[in-house]
C-alpha cells in the first residue's frame, strides 16, 4: 500500500511538472515578442537599468524620475558615420610592402572606431592626393609637400600630427642626394651637373621639391641634367645602386635603414653627396568633413595610441625595436597644425616650381 501511495504521489508530481513546463514554453514567445516591440521612450524597470535591447538601453531620467528605453551613447555617437574607413599613404615603396607596414596602424583605427578599415596603396602621389580630395580615403600619411598640394587642390583636411623618431624628438627628416660609393666623379651636389638624375615623384618633398631647391642653389637648372621620375624612394635609391641613374634623391631612412633591413642595399653601398636642411615632419591628415565626433576619435587614436609602447601593449608588436607604426622607423606622432607647413610653401615660392600648383 505504501508503495502504491508513493507511486500515486510521484505520478501526480510528474503531471504538475509537465503542465508547468508546457505553460512556460507557451509563455516564451510572448516575452520575446514584447522584447522585439520595445521602442525608444518605452518604460523599463529599475532592475533593467543599464541593460540593453538591440540599440536601446534602459536609462534613468532624473528630471522625469522614470526609467525608459533610449538610444545608447554608442548609437548616438555613430549618427552620420560612414560604414567603413580607408587609410592611405603616398608611396615610398611598392604596394605590398606599404600594405604590410601599415597593417598594425589599420588594426588600431579599426579597433578605436569600430569601423571596418582598409589600406589603399596608391601607385603614385597624385593618386593619394586625388583620392582624399574626392573623399575616397579618410586618413592619409603624406609627405609635407604632398600635404600642401592636397590642401591647395581642395582636399578638406587638416594635419593630426607629424611623425617623430623618439618620444622627445621634434618632427623632421632629411633629403639625401646619393651616388654609388665607388663613383669618384660625384662628391657634392655640384657634381650632379651633366648626370642622369633620379627623382622620386613630382609631388615628393624629399624626392623632388627640396632636391630642386638644392640644385638651383648651386646654379644647376633642369637643362643641366637628365631627369628621371623613379616612382618611389626605394626605386630611386636602387636605380642609383644598379647604375640606371648616376645620382638620385631619397629620404634619409630609406637609404640608412629601410633598404638595408630588407637586404636590398648593402651598408655603405651608396654615399650621401648632399643632405638637405631639416624638412618639416610628414603629417597624418584627416578629412574634416567626417562627423566631428569621429574626427576626434581619430585624432586621439593617432596622437595617444599610435606609438611603439602602445602597439606593444596592445599586442600588435612583440617589442619596440622591431615595431612598425607606419612605413618607417617612427616612434609615433606629435601634434602639429597647418601653419607648421608654411616653410614648404616658402620653398615652393623660392623654386617657382610649376609642380607647386
User: What pLDDT, in 10s, does the model give residues 218-240?
Assistant: 999 999 999 999 999 999 999 99
User: What pLDDT, in 10s, does the model give residues 108-134?
Assistant: 999 999 999 999 988 899 999 999 999
Decide which of 178 and 59 is more confident. 178
Whole-angstrom distance, CA of residue 173 vs CA of residue 145: 13
Domain ranges in the chain?
85-171+281-356, 175-275
pLDDT, mean of residues 95-114: 94
pLDDT band at 75 (very low <50, low <70, confident <90, very high): low
pLDDT at 156: 96
Whole-angstrom distance, CA of residue 275 vs CA of residue 160: 27
Domain at 175-275: CATH code: 3.40.190.10
pLDDT band at 355 (very low <50, low <70, confident <90, very high): confident
Look up residue 57 and give its three cell numbers: 538601453
pLDDT at 37: 61
Residue 15 pLDDT exceeds 90: no
| Helices 144-152/342-351 angle, 10° precision | 80
Residue 19 pLDDT exceeds 50: no
Whole-angstrom distance, CA of residue 258 vs CA of residue 329: 8
pLDDT band at 78 (very low <50, low <70, confident <90, very high): confident
**With b meaning 16 or more CB within 10 Å and e meaning fewer, what string describes 23-42?**
eeeeeeeeeeeeeeeeeeee
pLDDT band at 59 (very low <50, low <70, confident <90, very high): confident
Other CB atoms within a 10 A radius of the CB of residue 84 amount to 12
Is there a contact between 140 and 284 (Cβ–Cβ < 8 Å)? yes
Residue 73 pLDDT exceeds 70: no
Range of lowest pLDDT (67-76, 163-172, 174-183, 222-231): 67-76
Residue 33 pLDDT exceeds 70: no
Q: Name the average pLDDT for the chain.
A: 88
Whole-angstrom distance, CA of residue 263 vs CA of residue 248: 20
Q: How many CA atoms lie within 13 A of 134 on its CB side?
A: 8
Is there a contact between 90 and 146 (Cβ–Cβ < 8 Å)? yes
Please tell me the pTM assigned to this model. Answer: 0.72
Range of lowest pLDDT (196-210, 228-242, 340-354): 340-354
Residue 34 pLDDT exceeds 60: no
User: What pLDDT, in 10s, does the model give residues 288-329?
Assistant: 999 999 999 999 999 999 999 999 999 999 999 999 999 888
Is there a contact between 116 and 253 (Cβ–Cβ < 8 Å)? no
Is there a contact between 102 and 89 (Cβ–Cβ < 8 Å)? yes
Whole-angstrom distance, CA of residue 165 vs CA of residue 190: 31
Whether 175-275 and 85-171+281-356 are alike in CATH topology: the answer is yes
- Nearest CA to 106 out of 344, 318, 326 is that of 326
Bridge partners, residue 56, by sequence:
53, 71
pLDDT band at 77 (very low <50, low <70, confident <90, very high): low
Residue 16 pLDDT exceeds 50: no
Is CATH 3.30.1490.20 the right assignment for the domain spanning 85-171+281-356? Answer: no
Write phi, then psi, for 135 (nearest 5 degrees).
80, 20
Decide which of 129 and 79 is more confident. 129
Range of lowest pLDDT (4-13, 33-42, 145-154, 159-168): 4-13
pLDDT at 313: 96
Amino acid at each position: 500500500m505504501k508503495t502504491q501511495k508513493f507511486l500515486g504521489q510521484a505520478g501526480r508530481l510528474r503531471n504538475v511538472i509537465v503542465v508547468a513546463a508546457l505553460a512556460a514554453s507557451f509563455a516564451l514567445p510572448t516575452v520575446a515578442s514584447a522584447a522585439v516591440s520595445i521602442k525608444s521612450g518605452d518604460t523599463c524597470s529599475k532592475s533593467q537599468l543599464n541593460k540593453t535591447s538591440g540599440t536601446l538601453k534602459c536609462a534613468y531620467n532624473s528630471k522625469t524620475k522614470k526609467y525608459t528605453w533610449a538610444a545608447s551613447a554608442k548609437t548616438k555617437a555613430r549618427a552620420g558615420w560612414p560604414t567603413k574607413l580607408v587609410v592611405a599613404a603616398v608611396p615610398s615603396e611598392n604596394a605590398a610592402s606599404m600594405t604590410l607596414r601599415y597593417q598594425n596602424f589599420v588594426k588600431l583605427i579599426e579597433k578605436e572606431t569600430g569601423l571596418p578599415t582598409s589600406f589603399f596603396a596608391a601607385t603614385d602621389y597624385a593618386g593619394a592626393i586625388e583620392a582624399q580630395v574626392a573623399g575616397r580615403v579618410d586618413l592619409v600619411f603624406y609627405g609635407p609637400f604632398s600635404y600642401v598640394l592636397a590642401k591647395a587642390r581642395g582636399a578638406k583636411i587638416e594635419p593630426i600630427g607629424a611623425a617623430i623618431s623618439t618620444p622627445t624628438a621634434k618632427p623632421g627628416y632629411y633629403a639625401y642626394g646619393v651616388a654609388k660609393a665607388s663613383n669618384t666623379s660625384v662628391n657634392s651636389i655640384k657634381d650632379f651637373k651633366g648626370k642622369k638624375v633620379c627623382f622620386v615623384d613630382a609631388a615628393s618633398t624629399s624626392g623632388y621639391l627640396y632636391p630642386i631647391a638644392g640644385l638651383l642653389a648651386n646654379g644647376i637648372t633642369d637643362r643641366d641634367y637628365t631627369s628621371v621620375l623613379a616612382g618611389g624612394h626605394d626605386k630611386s635609391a636602387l636605380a642609383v645602386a644598379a647604375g640606371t641613374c648616376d645620382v638620385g634623391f631619397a629620404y634619409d631612412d630609406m637609404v640608412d635603414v629601410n633598404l638595408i633591413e630588407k637586404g636590398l642595399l648593402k651598408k655603405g653601398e651608396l654615399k650621401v653627396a648632399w643632405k638637405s636642411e631639416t624638412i618639416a615632419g610628414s603629417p597624418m591628415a584627416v578629412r574634416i568633413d567626417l562627423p566631428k565626433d569621429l574626427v576626434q576619435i581619430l585624432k586621439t587614436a593617432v596622437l595617444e595610441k599610435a606609438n611603439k609602447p602602445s602597439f606593444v601593449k596592445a599586442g600588435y608588436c612583440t617589442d619596440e625595436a622591431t615595431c612598425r607604426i607606419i612605413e618607417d622607423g617612427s616612434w609615433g606622432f606629435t601634434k602639429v597644425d597647418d601653419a607648421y607647413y608654411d616653410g614648404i610653401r616658402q620653398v615652393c615660392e623660392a623654386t617657382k616650381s610649376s609642380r607647386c600648383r
